[in-house]
Amino acid sequence: MKVENWNNLIHEELFEIAENLKFEKNCFVIAHNYQFMEVQQIADYVGDSLQMAKVAAETDADMILLCGIKIMAETAKILNPNKKVLMAHPKADCRLALMKSADDLRKLKQKYPAAEVVCYVNSPATLKAESTITCTSANAIEVVNSLPKDKEIIFVPDRNIGAWVQFKTGRELFMFDSYCYVHQDITLQNVLELRKMYPDYKLIVHPECNLDVCKNADLVCSTSQMIDFVRKNDKVIIGTEIGMYDQLKFHFPYKKLVPLSSRMTCEDMKKTTLLGAVQALYFEQNEIEVPDEIREKSLRSLQRMFEIN
């Protein structure tokens, strides 16, 4: 199909173009829960990082368009070396993932040579390649518990998920000091104020929040686990990136939902627009590549995670 005058197209036209292109190119579109609603609307699957990785591993499409951040597109490519994997926006990175390099991890491994490495999925492929097993926010506790009790564990890169897992499992974890700036920003003070304003609401937070915030929540969970919680509860404070709140309001308009903070905006997740995503598919732009050696090593780390689920 041929498209002209991209800037004059309305949403409905872009939705139609996206549907035609997906069919023509046999492309599977995966979007993260934080994406703008109009981007989610062109996706064949919307989910959390674990679900995104699982559907990427299972699709038999020829091409994948990833609406999210670079680490998610890399994961899809690691699982699909022979497919074309496109990113909806070329510069949607993850600041947490960029804080430490594979060299930093090698140094930490030298300090604890007997340790197994658990690598949170919001990390570059080069870090996953240096790790024993990957985890996501949905399974970090199970992943750590799957390792023998007498094993030392390095947990990278997010110190807040690490602290939460350490608290829940009682295992000592050796960590980096990296964090997600969106979740790090939330303080216990914010939580206490909201609790006071909404005393009969439940509070759910993402484990990338500080430990004292997590300890004060009714549930600490992944973004998709938040959807399950809201399905069963009517008054909920949502403690994660604002896109999750937008999606929940869209799907559950009659529930009483409050964002923990309206400041919780991930600039990278918000780089993807409907127009940008459709153009990436039309022009087959922003293709992701992962060098073979890194791909093979990081694949083993991802496969170990799938085995325990």
| Cβ atoms of 164 and 214 closer than 8 Å | yes
Q: Which of 42, 48, 280, 295 binds ligand 13P (CB under 6 A)?
A: 48
Two tokens, residue 14: 């872009």
Q: Which is nearer to ligand 13P, 15 or 45 (CB)?
A: 45
Site size for ligand 13P (CB under 6 A): 12
Q: How far is the CB of 121 from ligand 13P (least distance, A)?
A: 7
206 binds ligand 13P (CB under 6 A): yes
| Cβ atoms of 276 and 65 closer than 8 Å | no
Q: How far is the CB of 240 from ligand 13P (least distance, A)?
A: 7
> Would you call 154 helix, strand, or coil by DSSP?
strand
Q: How far is the CB of 283 from ligand 13P (least distance, A)?
A: 27
| Window 152 to 191, contacts with ligand 13P (CB under 6 A) | 180
Q: Which of 126, 137, 261, 301 binds ligand 13P (CB under 6 A)?
A: 137
| Cβ atoms of 270 and 94 closer than 8 Å | no
Q: How many Cα atoms sit within 13 Å of 295 on the Cβ side? A: 14
Q: For residue 18, give the nearest of 76, 88, 81, 72 by alpha carbon.
A: 88
The residue count of the chain comes to 309
Indicate the burial class of 285 (C-beta count within 10 angstroms; 0-12, 13-18, 19 or more): middle
Q: How far is the CB of 49 from ligand 13P (least distance, A)?
A: 4
| 224-100-177 Cα angle (round to 5) | 75
136 binds ligand 13P (CB under 6 A): yes
Q: Which of 59, 139, 222, 298 binds ligand 13P (CB under 6 A)?
A: 222
Q: Between 67 and 106, how does the x/- string for binding to ligand 13P read (CB under 6 A)?
A: ----------------------------------------
> Please, which residues have CB within 8 angstroms of residue 96's CB and are 6 or more apart in sequence?
122, 123, 157, 158, 178, 179, 180, 181, 208
Question: For 298, phi and psi rounded to 5 degrees?
Answer: -75, -30
| Window 105 to 124, contacts with ligand 13P (CB under 6 A) | 122
Q: For residue 135, give the nearest of 153, 114, 149, 152 by alpha carbon.
A: 153
Q: Which is nearer to ligand 13P, 146 or 279 (CB)?
A: 146
Q: Which of 74, 130, 208, 268 binds ligand 13P (CB under 6 A)?
A: 208
Q: Which of 49, 139, 160, 261 binds ligand 13P (CB under 6 A)?
A: 49
Two tokens, residue 92: 């949607």
Q: Which is nearer to ligand 13P, 49 or 166 (CB)?
A: 49
Q: Which is nearer to ligand 13P, 145 or 279 (CB)?
A: 145
Task: Output the CA–CA distances (angstroms, integers) from residue 214 to 6, 139, 259, in the order listed.
Answer: 44, 16, 15
Contacts with ligand 13P, residue ranges (CB under 6 A): 48-49, 122, 136-138, 180, 206, 208, 222-223, 241
